Chain A
């Protein structure tokens, strides 16, 4: 009796071990399969096709002028978290920074009738917008800050975009891989469409929490596109260009992180 029982227990144990082994093997085969799929271009493209749907749906349910939530002054975070580049090491930036950005000129050009150069003082002299908004990083965290700057729409009015212009391109100072020795350009760049460019809350910010924009947060000038994720909010803006396509620029995906695989539409 005891013998039978032991035998049965042994058989049970074997079966359990077999089942567990089979489950583990099936599980790791599935995982390996998923990882292989992630590296398969056409599969990755299929997954990424959801981005178009997300963007189309977002434009329907949250139309062009819909405003991001604005908060009260008591909700502003003590320190606004900096992320990505915190202090560009590029020589041209360092020189500007050390001179207190007195020599800074924002260049606005590309597909425009009247290209323009603006100093910080000229930007500050333009009508401004102040907004207390929440910054949502693609990593998952959020931070509330008070931004002051010029509406991008106002700048566009001044330069008069040509009819073929479809996107606004931001070229930034900071090289993401450090200043390049071999001439490879890794400077941050971003692009947004004209709907977002004309949105009331899309500003070129020069102030954060009532002080000049700190270097960690993109001094002297950064973009706020409030209805998209953090990586769309270009910091350390060097120049702005109106373009009809970003296919020929760097990786062709419209931004530094986009070239690394992130969605161009950062509204989700």
Chain B
């Protein structure tokens, strides 16, 4: 843009629409690798889960008393699918416990339906191959990302909120509830709720899901005798692995919803090309003569 043109701009419009470079190439690449990995890991994980659709707390399985289980049973009105949490049972026919693999197919007893699992059919051996291969990609990508955030100062500059931002967290919460999003310069920075969420996901949920996954390996359990006890035992680790995965799914749902609210094309472009457009700021600002 021509500098002179800016200098003689009318005093009432402070800043025209402009483009800012928001995401660097490594972050963009690692973001999309992560999208693929998490999708495959979640869906192959659900196929693995279907092999024994019940969760326990402790070292071993108390088969009669899982804290959550999914199943199907015959009733006079036909088969029903259920989800049981503690002693309470919910009818989840069609999705959980009993589902079809498309129109016209017979209902099958399976915890998660075919559209939620990789592979679609119940196939534990293949689901494990998908899961354990993409787990490696996911961990390598994750470690590379964490190293990048530290050494590029992405972590301290962009992800860790400032003291001021933390003080104003109340306003950020209200803004989020009103679906009001930062504009202008503020839109070039992560807002405080966003940074805190990213920090919890990157340094909380993601390491937790990995550690709990490793805890389910009988060989890795022997690295330090008894370390799995720190997670409450192997079956607790399986429970935590599942809960952390659903925590991640919840994050993705909110994250994608926020992308739609904030402007899907602009946000997608910024994660693909790096460039984000800050719309024209219409607020009339007095310009000093």
A46-B133, A50-B136 known; A68-B60 Cβ under 8 A: no
Contact indicator per residue, chain A 138-161, by CB within 8 Å of chain B (1) or not (0): 111111100000000000000000
Residues of B within 8 A of A (CB): 40, 43, 48-49, 51-52, 54, 56, 59-61, 63, 114-115, 118-121, 123-126, 128-130, 132-133, 135-136, 216-223, 225-226, 228-229, 234-235, 238
A27-B115, A134-B59, A140-B49 known; A263-B223 Cβ under 8 A: no
Once bound together, how far apart are the Cα atoms of A61 and B235, in whole Å?
22
Q: For residue B229, which residue of chain A has the nearest CB?
A: A69
Question: Contact: A69 with B49, CB < 8 Å?
Answer: no
A-B contacts counted at CB < 8 A amount to 130
Question: Contact: B51 with A140, CB < 8 Å?
Answer: yes
Question: Contact: B120 with A31, CB < 8 Å?
Answer: yes
| A136 partner residues in chain B, CB cutoff 8 A | 216, 218, 234
Once bound together, how far apart are the Cα atoms of A138 and B217, in whole Å?
10
A interface bracket (residues with beta carbon within 8 Å of B): 35 or more
A51-B132, A53-B136, A261-B125 known; A140-B48 Cβ under 8 A: yes
Chain B at the A interface: mostly helix, strand, loop or mixed? helix
Question: Contact: A38 with B234, CB < 8 Å?
Answer: no
Contact indicator per residue, chain A 59-76, by CB within 8 Å of chain B (1) or not (0): 001100011110100010
| B235 partner residues in chain A, CB cutoff 8 A | 141-142
A182 contacts the other chain (Cβ, under 8 Å)? Answer: no
| B43 partner residues in chain A, CB cutoff 8 A | 34
| A47 partner residues in chain B, CB cutoff 8 A | 129-130, 132-133
A176 contacts the other chain (Cβ, under 8 Å)? Answer: no
Contact residue among B114, B120, B220, B228 (Cβ-Cβ distance under 8 Å from A62):
B220
Q: For residue A226, which residue of chain B has the nearest CB?
A: B218
A206 to chain B, nearest CB (A): 22
Question: Contact: B59 with A142, CB < 8 Å?
Answer: yes
Contact indicator per residue, chain A 30-61, by CB within 8 Å of chain B (1) or not (0): 01001100100000101111110110001001
Question: Contact: A31 with B118, CB < 8 Å?
Answer: yes
Question: Contact: A67 with B225, CB < 8 Å?
Answer: yes
Once bound together, how far apart are the Cα atoms of A64 and B137, in whole Å?
26
Contact residue among B133, B226, B238 (Cβ-Cβ distance under 8 Å from A69):
B226
A217 contacts the other chain (Cβ, under 8 Å)? Answer: no
Once bound together, how far apart are the Cα atoms of A47 and B125, in whole Å?
11
The 10 A-B pairs at the shortest CB distance, nearest first, are namely A267-B219, A261-B125, A66-B222, A47-B129, A140-B52, A141-B61, A139-B52, A139-B51, A50-B133, A47-B133
Residues of A within 8 A of B (CB): 27-28, 31, 34-35, 38, 44, 46-51, 53-54, 58, 61-62, 66-69, 71, 75, 77, 81, 134, 136-144, 226-229, 257, 260-263, 266-268
Question: Contact: B60 with A69, CB < 8 Å?
Answer: no
| B56 partner residues in chain A, CB cutoff 8 A | 141
Contact residue among B121, B219, B234 (Cβ-Cβ distance under 8 Å from A35):
B121
Question: Contact: B51 with A260, CB < 8 Å?
Answer: no
Contact residue among B49, B59, B125, B217 (Cβ-Cβ distance under 8 Å from A268):
B217
| A61 partner residues in chain B, CB cutoff 8 A | 220, 223
Question: Contact: A141 with B59, CB < 8 Å?
Answer: no
Once bound together, how far apart are the Cα atoms of A139 and B49, in whole Å?
8
Once bound together, how far apart are the Cα atoms of A60 and B40, in whole Å?
27
Question: Contact: A48 with B129, CB < 8 Å?
Answer: yes
Q: For residue B227, which residue of chain A has the nearest CB?
A: A69
Question: Contact: A28 with B115, CB < 8 Å?
Answer: yes
A253 to chain B, nearest CB (A): 11
Known: A28-B115, A34-B120. 13 other contacts (CB 8 A): A34-B40, A34-B43, A35-B118, A38-B130, A69-B226, A69-B228, A71-B59, A134-B60, A143-B60, A144-B59, A144-B60, A229-B218, A267-B217
| B129 partner residues in chain A, CB cutoff 8 A | 44, 47-48, 50, 261, 263
A28-B115, A31-B115, A31-B118 known; A139-B59 Cβ under 8 A: no
A50-B136, A53-B136 known; A69-B221 Cβ under 8 A: yes
| A75 partner residues in chain B, CB cutoff 8 A | 59-60
Once bound together, how far apart are the Cα atoms of A69 and B225, in whole Å?
6
| A66 partner residues in chain B, CB cutoff 8 A | 222-223
Once bound together, how far apart are the Cα atoms of A257 and B51, in whole Å?
15
A229 to chain B, nearest CB (A): 6
| B54 partner residues in chain A, CB cutoff 8 A | 141
A92 to chain B, nearest CB (A): 29
| B118 partner residues in chain A, CB cutoff 8 A | 31, 34-35, 38
Once bound together, how far apart are the Cα atoms of A137 and B60, in whole Å?
11
Once bound together, how far apart are the Cα atoms of A66 and B220, in whole Å?
10
B56 to chain A, nearest CB (A): 8
Once bound together, how far apart are the Cα atoms of A53 and B225, in whole Å?
22
Contact residue among A34, A142, A227 (Cβ-Cβ distance under 8 Å from B222):
A227
Q: For residue B222, which residue of chain A has the nearest CB?
A: A66
B60 to chain A, nearest CB (A): 4
Contact residue among B126, B132, B238 (Cβ-Cβ distance under 8 Å from A140):
B238
Once bound together, how far apart are the Cα atoms of A229 and B51, in whole Å?
14
| B216 partner residues in chain A, CB cutoff 8 A | 136, 140
Contact residue among A27, A53, A54, A68 (Cβ-Cβ distance under 8 Å from B218):
A68
